[in-house]
Structure 1
């Protein structure tokens, strides 16, 4: 089961990367690409901070009723695992955004397009892993409110 979860988490990045290489997005048509990169740096960095805080709060709040409910459902480790995945993808997103921002000089060489494909895949993986965490919490809160 752990290997399956790991493979799903890797595919969150690999599948968008393959799609990006297949469809060849026109990054040069994005007029405000620098602003988009700056926004993804801010988004990724802020999310990393929030997710790290979430992990520490979840792990230190073992006396709370909510955490006891997570343990009873067996979802506490899954949520922490997905939070760690989101942290990794958000960090990669911020790092790639910074690298692409420094390499962006007006011309779109093959190496810059490859970097942008990796950036796009990390953006997709970041959004998907965050969405998965939100869905986890929504399901848990709906189960808790039904009890």
Structure 2
């Protein structure tokens, strides 16, 4: 399966977001955008209880590796990062009661899928799942999201 770097994904995001703007220093703007989105990714992981686990999303699970994702995960990553300042807001403020259940379920399942697609062991995936459950009460949110539909 083909993998994409986070930089490639954020470059595409940057081009979509800024399609109608004239920017003179495109490469430095893209680099800044990438750094910002990387910080958002780390904050998202921290928010759902996976602080410090971002290396598992890098090549060879190394701190020096690049963030690498399957091509099929690209749309999830884009949407997740685009929601950082919108639907993520209650989670970022630790206002879990006001966080949207369907969004939390979507985010939790998507992030676990990213780790799985990066060949994280089943044992580690269970550990990550427990951390997410503890932080955002995934089982209750899943139940409420199903009932809501």
- Give the TM-score taking structure 2 as reference length: 0.28
Greater strand content: 2
Greater helix content: 1
